[in-house]
Amino acid sequence: MIISESNGGELPPKKPQVAVCVGVIDVGESYGIEPNKDPKLGPVGARLCPPHPQAEDQRPKQKVRFIFESGEKMDDGRPFRLTDQYNVTLHEKGKLKPFLDSWQIKLVKVEGGVDLEASCVGKTALVSVTHDVRGERTWANISTIMPSDQELRPTGDFDKTDYIKNCQESYAERNK
């Protein structure tokens, strides 16, 4: 999982830290991708994201992004924002189920499936952040997630509508 340096270039500290989930985003929606209409491509109604150019499996997939606010603060006093993204599958071989299981999230079941937003937003976690150097850039990654006994409340600064709008603009610009 890569944490964007859009927060001004500051990376969250390389250590375990308490974080609270402030958003669960359908990545396809955030990119402005229209819902799928062809059952041969995948679930009808899902917003299927194109694969990474170097991915082994080149089929489009439904993806979900979790957004956390860290208890650690940037120099200007705002919390670091951490993100993690997964293919939408609760299969044992996928990465989403082990992520939710290690966080010990109780899934909220609704008609038609699981409501990840209701299950995760507002829940605290203990995340271990590592730094990886790739070329001239350093990336911060969440290497592990566990439940946390500490309470951390969202600041209220995260606006899902603005986030999706910014993602759509960035995705459109990238695909020009």
Residues 6+ apart with CB under 8 A from 45: 35, 36
Helical H segments across the chain, by residue range:
27-31, 96-103, 116-120, 160-174
48 DSSP β-pair partners = 62
Task: Report yes or no: 6 and 141 within 8 Å, Cβ to Cβ.
Answer: no
Query: What is the residue-level pLDDT of the chain in tens, covering all 176 positions?
Result: 444 444 447 899 999 999 999 999 999 999 999 999 999 888 899 999 988 888 888 889 999 999 999 999 999 999 999 999 999 999 989 999 999 999 999 999 999 889 999 999 999 999 999 998 888 888 888 999 999 999 999 999 999 999 999 999 988 888 87
